Structure 1
Amino acid sequence: MEQGTESVITSVEQQKRNKRRYNIYVNESFAFSVHEDVLVKYRLFKGESIDNERLQEVIHAEERQEVYAHAIRYIGRSPRSVKEVRQKLKQKGYEQSLVDLTIERLKNEKYIDDGMFAMQWTEHRIMYQSKGRNWVKQELQQKGVASENIQEAIAALDEETELAYACKLAAKKLPSLKGEPYERKRKLAAFLLRRGYTSSTVSQAVKEVTNESLEEWEM
């Protein structure tokens, strides 16, 4: 837009492929497209005048909306830690200031919460992936979750439940192990340790699963 030239929004058209985006025409010519949230916030309606200063505000708002929308899509596919979202936005090449603003907005709107994320991740890995607390702890550390959040999530684990899943996994693994009884026990313990279970949980699980099974095999 030229300085001193009065510019008026002459048309607003909803995009056919993306119903939440609109094409804005100024002085009968296409000027830019915006998300509907930006459209409403800045009153980009037909007949409204728009100068260069206001246009720059709209452009910056649209940039913020783009980063936010990308983050929401990323989170929508799977729960993410704050570090994971930040890294993803940086990989897309967004400016640091825009990334920081987006992260704060997502936190305020409760879309990202490392405390809740740690709880959900721990429960899923224990119950559906048959992983032990040591494995989960290492994963959460890699995802940038603060130690206090990790400790809180681990502390909330029910030890009996964790033991039950360890026993279930051990019972499934035991028939495939070869060797003398003591050798089978050693291999089973090593297997459970690699899955992230603590030594005390492994000891209990091996004892419960092998005592009856190995006695039957020996007979």
Structure 2
Amino acid sequence: MAIITNVSTQKQKKRYNIFLDGQYAFSVSENILIKKRLFKGTNLTDEQIAEIKQAELDQRTLNLAQDFLSYQMRTVNEVCIYLRQKGVSETAIKVAIADLKKLKLLDDQNYVKLYVNNNLQIGKEGPNSIRHKLLNKGVDNKLIENVLSSYDNIDWVDPGIRLVKSMSNKLGKLSTKAIIQKTKLKLMQHGFSSDQLDLVIEQLDLSNNSDEQLEALIKEGIKAYKKYAQEPDFKRNQKIRRYLFTHGFDSTEIDQFLDGQIIDFNSLEDY
């Protein structure tokens, strides 16, 4: 049995030093001081002292987690990783997580809902990309699937359109077919399904007008000519044809270019 002989304030706000039998014993927060009624003259058993120290540790862990959460929402796994990095024991982490859930400061299901809704409103990611990112944050896959399954393919059109518009300047002068191919590839890379990317394509006018298509043909045709200029004429034209076809131009357009209807072949060396 020990008796509290003195309680003094620390320089740190709402922190107190506890003295037992005239000797410094430990420090506590104001919350623990009041909760455990640690006043001068109070008698404490060894078991009570151990409980107070554990309660103080739990409170410090909770404060640490709350500070981490004050900057942005986190998943349970992210908070656990952060606390481990701070050297907190698994027992204290378990208590803190339970307290945070009771305080409704930690809720993975709500986190996923807000994460998905935010992407639908201002983001550019498809559901597969979102699933991957949430799994990396330690969210349970079943929870993710439950939330994602509540949305239809049409709900992902706006994020897809935002993604495509953000890359429009990078498409350059390409054939309509090449633009659509690159657009679909970009959408797939960002987690959109084939059905979803088809819906996005339907909402966008990705076709070039005749002038843009002609400009794209000239640009790629000149590039192909320079690449194969040293080849014999027949072989050169075969390779140019193959090059233009893989870049999305149809047979009629390619024939017109090779026949010199688009640009005089004799003048290509000047480009």
| TM-score normalized with structure 1 length | 0.84
**Partner residue in 1 for 2:196:** 201
Structure 2 Cα separation of the partners of residues 186 and 192 of structure 1: 10
**Partner residue in 1 for 2:235:** none
Q: Contact 1:7–1:49 (CA<8 Å) still a contact in 2? A: yes
SS in 2 for 1:7: strand
Equivalent AA in structure 1 for residue 203 of structure 2: E
**Partner residue in 2 for 1:7:** 3
Structure 1 Cα separation of the partners of residues 213 and 202 of structure 2: 16
Q: How does 1:173-184 map to 2 (within 5 A)?
A: 173-178=167-172, 179-184=174-179
Equivalent AA in structure 2 for residue 142 of structure 1: N
**Partner residue in 2 for 1:105:** 99
Structure 2 Cα separation of the partners of residues 168 and 58 of structure 1: 55
Q: Measure how far apart 1:210 and its partner are.
A: 3.2
For residue 55 of structure 1, the aligned residue among 31, 49, 54 is 49
Give the share of equivalent positions with the same residue, in percent: 25
**Partner residue in 2 for 1:37:** 31
What root-mean-square deviation, in Å, do the aligned CA atoms of Structure 1 and Structure 2 show? 2.3
- Structure 1 residue ranges without an equivalent (≥5): none
Structure 1 Cα separation of the partners of residues 7 and 101 of structure 2: 36
- Structure 2 residue ranges without an equivalent (≥5): 215-271
Q: Contact 1:81–1:117 (CA<8 Å) still a contact in 2? A: yes
Q: Measure how far apart 1:12 and its partner are.
A: 3.3
Equivalent AA in structure 1 for residue 38 of structure 2: L
How many residue pairs match? The answer is 212
| TM-score normalized with structure 2 length | 0.69
SS in 2 for 1:148: helix
- Over alpha carbons, which structure has the higher Rg? 2
Structure 2 Cα separation of the partners of residues 136 and 194 of structure 1: 12
Q: Measure how far apart 1:158 and its partner are.
A: 5.3
Deviation per residue, 1:46-90 (Å, 9 max, x gap):
332334332222111111111111121222222122222222222
SS in 1 for 2:74: coil
For residue 210 of structure 1, the aligned residue among 201, 205, 208 is 205
Q: 1:128 to 1:23 in 2, by over 3 A?
A: farther
Equivalent AA in structure 1 for residue 150 of structure 2: A
SS in 2 for 1:11: strand
Q: Measure how far apart 1:96 and its partner are.
A: 1.9
Equivalent AA in structure 2 for residue 181 of structure 1: T
SS in 2 for 1:157: coil
Q: Contact 2:112–2:144 (CA<8 Å) still a contact in 1? A: yes
Structure 2 Cα separation of the partners of residues 129 and 165 of structure 1: 6
Structure 2 Cα separation of the partners of residues 146 and 54 of structure 1: 39
Equivalent AA in structure 2 for residue 117 of structure 1: Y
Equivalent AA in structure 2 for residue 141 of structure 1: L
**Partner residue in 1 for 2:139:** 145
Q: Measure how far apart 1:135 and its partner are.
A: 0.5
Runs of 4+ more than 6 Å apart: none
SS in 2 for 1:45: coil
Q: Contact 1:9–1:44 (CA<8 Å) still a contact in 2? A: no
Q: Does 1:114 align with 2:108?
A: yes
Structure with more relative contact order (C-alpha pairs < 8 Å, separation 6 or more): 1
Q: Contact 1:12–1:46 (CA<8 Å) still a contact in 2? A: no
